[in-house]
Amino acid sequence: MVVILLLCFAFAKAQEEQISPTESKFKEPKTKYWVNTYGNMRISKRLFWVAQTHFRFEETKDTPFVGQLGQIYNRHAIGYIYNKKANFALGGVLRLNFNTSEDGSGPNMIPEYRIWHQYQFAVPLWTSMAYHRLRVEHRWTKGFDEGDEFIFRNRWRYMFRLKIPLNSPKLQSKTLYIAPESELILQSGKSVVGSPLEDLRLNATIGYIINPRLTVAAGFMYSFGQTLEDGGLYNQNYTARMHIYFSPDLRKRKNKLPEIHFRD
Amino acid sequence: MKAQFLNFTLSFLLLSLIGASTCFGQEVKRYDGTLQIVSYEGNAYYNYILKNGDSIKTGPFLFNNKLGKELDTKPFMISGSFKEGVPDGKWEFKFGNYSLQEEKKFVDYQYVVQVNGVQRHITGSFKNGKPTGDWFIEIDSLKNSAKTASLFKSKVSFKDGIPQQSFRIENTDSYMIGRLLRNGDAHDSWSLFTKDGIDELENWKFDEGTLQEMTQYRDSVENKLSIPVNIKVAEKSINLDQHYIEVLKLSLLDKNSGLKLDAGLSELLKTNALHYHHVEDIFKNLDLNVLLTNIAVNVPEYPIAEQEEQQLSKINTNYKQTKEIIDLLLSDTQVNLLKLRDSVIKNEYGYIGHLQEHYVNPMEKLMVYHNESITKHIKRPVLIKGLFKDQESLASAMIMEDIELPNLKLEKYDLTEVNDLSDRLLETLRILQQKMDGQVLKTKKEDKYIHQEKGLIEQANLVKNAVDSVQNKDHSKDVRKALKSVNEFIDQTLTDYSVMSEGDDKIRRSEELISCYKNTIELTHTLSQLDQEHKKIKKLYQDQVWNPFTATIMDEDVKKKITKAYFKEISPYLISIVKKDMSCEDIIMVDNTFKELDARLTILREEDTQRLERKIKRTKDPTSLLQLFGLSQQQP
């Protein structure tokens, strides 16, 4: 709740200082294709290692979705399992941003650094599960233009997601599920003037739980958000996404306690 | 119990005498211990001298029953004395047969139990081992330990072992007087009178041992028989006892005299002789020959020729075998049960009974007479005709199916004929025995068939009921199919059984099937549980895993190679064995293997199975997999 209030406050403050455009303008949507791997590797009774690698492609003039590599995204963290329904994580991100500008000026790749922490809560809902995810990222980014310096921003993310099993009474092995999902990403920082809504992502995903250790999913996302430079100008994206979720247990066998007894 | 008290006193006196005599005797030894004489077991006290290895009794002798806590209802006491190994002096024989009165009386500071019953008392003297003086037999009935009636009484005088002059024998309602010559020969008139001495009931006339005439007066009718002196027949002097009476009886068989020798004089003589024999037997047991029954009578003698002797010997052999078969058949439990429901057996049983009564029993008598040396004193035709009576009516009375009845008719009444008869009788009984054995066996078999088949059908129904009760749509396809196969198996085996020809093989097969069906019920149960079992094993081989992406607990299959081998290879293979033409061994094997697998999989879940899993990976052959699981398909 504190975080939400903080977000609202930041948003209100930003509105005061920015001259509002007379009307918003939405750019032509870009098509993108993301291949995301998510690893949650158990390392102890309560800790797990978050390792995510995303390959993000985007259109070129000639090729929609997969025309060029936009970013390679490495997210790592150590997660803490509070209980079955709540877990937290703290870690860093190294993102490699490739120059996708049409004029081809500037360096080919610029790294981006983040420190992030997240708070995830699961709520059983009939046969489904609902998830609330709060993620805060402290982000250092640099543009491709000459003379651009690293700027620091904070990102405030809230995601709500449902996972609804289709062929099973609950989420279990060999279950096909659909996952509607929306995430609001707000940003703040010195450079953020009149454009706190970085992204609003609306997802529809269909997934398949192969076994408790491996799930695959594919979905389509529509997202839009203000450009940093102009609060009245909005980016739009259509992104096809493919996900692999894996969660090996790296503990020695003898340490694998029955999983239901987190709070014992 | 007064008698016993007397015994005690006497015993004491005798023992004192024994003690005194030992003072004078040089090699006199004393015996004081248990002894059995005839059927009497008791304590004996006597002295003896060892001479050339023989023990020669001397001095007083006492033998009586042991006095235990329980009062003996058949007390006895024999006392007398020996001189140089033979009886000498007074002897007394007492035998009781009492029932004890429950009520006890207190007399002279003693509790007295009174008795009812019969007491036999024989007294007499010996001189140098030979009866001498008067010998008395007294049989009295007692009530409350007091004599109430004299049942039998006799007095015979002996001199140097020979009965002399006249003797008297009486019973409750008559008495007889007999006369003897000095040499013991029966002589003159022997008469039986009523107790009051008024009416003469019977009269036998002897002349120097030879019976001349017999007269009986019964109900005012006089039956008289003069026995003609047959000069051609040699006579022989014998002792008068029951055998002589028997000879007389048999001699009368061909004479329609109306004389009856079952009572009267003959009965008194016979009874007296039997009591004397009893005393003789007691001495015989002590290795002494004492003769009391030595009234001499003459009987005709028809010597037994050698051929006759052989025939009698053969008849004896045949008789013994015949008797054995008859006893066996008539006492056979199966035959006795069968005759109640099988008219053929009943008929045969009856026929055997007739054979026994009319042929075997007379033959037995003939053998007894022969053994007792009576046969030679009677004309053979007279004897045989007398023994084998009523046999003519028998042969025609019996009708037997599929057995040719032997001709059992006697015409000549000689031993040759009896010998032939005994041959035919034995042969007939052997045939009958064989036939009846066959019938009994057949019935036993039939009964066994019926019993066995009933059991078989019951067992088959049990299997089918078991299948019906477990069959439902919730079962997996495989299980449903297997249960259907079980039913088909029952039908198939029953059909195969029904066309088998009757015999030992069929009985054996039904026994096998009953046992097999019992196992089939077990298998049915196992099969009906199989789906549950599979679920159980699946659950067993699952870990609960927390999935961080769903934040839920999920079941994770573990040791999948093991479960896969079980679910995909072994279980389908075992189920595939269950078909309508499976063997009984297959049934046991499948059932046992499933049960053993259950136990084995439970163990494997906990064990480190990495090596096993690697091996399992290499094969899909169910039998090899079973071996890897540590189970081999051993046929039971």
pLDDT, tens digit, 9 for 90 and up, residues B465-501: 988 888 888 888 889 999 999 999 999 998 888 888 8
**How distant is the alpha carbon of residue B45 from its chain centre?**
37
In tens, the pLDDT along B428-469 reads 888 888 888 887 777 777 777 788 888 888 889 999 898 888
> What is the per-residue DSSP string for B157-224?
EEETTEEEEEEEEEESSEEEEEEB-TTSBB-EEEEEEETTS-SEEEEEEEETTEEEEEEEEETTEEEE
Is pLDDT of B70 > 70?
no
For residue B396, pLDDT over 80 is answered with no
Q: What is the Rg, in whole angstroms, of the alpha carbon atoms belonging to chain B?
A: 44
Q: What is the pTM of this model?
A: 0.51
How far apart are the CA of B543 and the nearest CA of chain A, in angstroms?
8
Is B585 part of the contact surface with chain A (CB cutoff 8 Å)? no
Counting residues of chain B whose pLDDT is more than 70, the rounded percentage is 90
Please give the Cα distance from B290 to B161 (Å, whole number): 9
What CA–CA distances, in Å, run from B132 to B155, B156, B334? 12, 10, 60
In this prediction, residue A128 has a pLDDT band, given cuts at 50, 70 and 90, of very high
Residue B636 has pLDDT above 50, yes or no: no
| Higher-confidence position of A159 and B236 | A159
Q: What is the DSSP string of B35-46?
A: EEETTEEEEEEE
* The most confident of B49-53, B435-439, B555-559, by mean pLDDT: B555-559
CB neighbours of B587 closer than 8 A, spacing ≥ 6?
B516, B519, B520, B523, B578
| Residue B516 CB coordination number (10 Å) | 22
| pLDDT digit string, tens, across residues B279-322 | 999 888 888 888 888 888 888 888 888 888 898 899 899 999 99
Q: Is A211 within 8 Å of B557 when comparing Cβ atoms?
A: yes
Nearest to A260 among B549, B551, B553 (CB): B553
Q: Grade residue A257 by pLDDT with cuts at 50, 70 and 90.
A: low
The answer, for A256 touching chain B at a CB cutoff of 8 Å, is yes
Least Cα separation, residue A241 to chain B (angstroms): 17
CB B470 within 8 A of CB B564: no
Cα A204 to Cα A161: distance, rounded to the nearest angstrom:
10
* A96 pLDDT higher than 90: yes
- pLDDT greater than 50 at residue B507: yes
Pairing of strands A233-246, A25-26: parallel
DSSP tally for chain A: helices H, then strands E: 1, 12
- Residues near B567 by beta carbon (within 8 Å), at least 6 away in sequence: B534, B537, B538
Angle between helices B415-470 and B361-371 (to 10 degrees): 130
The rounded distance, in Å, linking the Cα atoms of B568 and B562 is 10
CA distance B147 to B119: 9
Say yes or no: A118 contacts chain B, CB-CB below 8 A: no
How far away is chain B from the Cα of A40, in angstroms, using its nearest Cα?
Answer: 7
Residues 6+ apart with CB under 8 A from B607: none
pLDDT of residue B450: 80
3-state DSSP call for residue B545? Answer: strand
Predicted confidence at residue A240, as pLDDT, reads 96
Could you tell me if B550 lies within 8 Å of chain A, comparing CB atoms?
A: yes
Residue of A nearest to B549 (CA): A245
**Chain A neighbors of B552, CB-CB under 8 A:** 84, 122, 129, 170-172
DSSP summary character for residue A253: G
Pick from B12, B121, B32, B30: which is nearest to B75 by CA? B121
Name the band, by pLDDT with cuts 50, 70 and 90, for residue B338: confident
Residue A121 has pLDDT above 90, yes or no: yes
- Helical segments of B239-390, H only: 242-251, 265-285, 306-331, 333-338, 343-355, 361-371, 380-387
Structure tokens at B87: 């009886």
Q: Average pLDDT in the B201-207 region?
A: 87
Which residues lie below 8 Å from residue B188, measured CB to CB, with a gap of 6+? Answer: B179, B205, B206
Min Cα distance B607 → chain A (Å) is: 13
Three-state SS for B64?
A: strand
The residues in A 127-186 lying below 8 A from B, measured between CB atoms, are 129, 131, 163, 170-173
* Predicted complex ipTM: 0.87
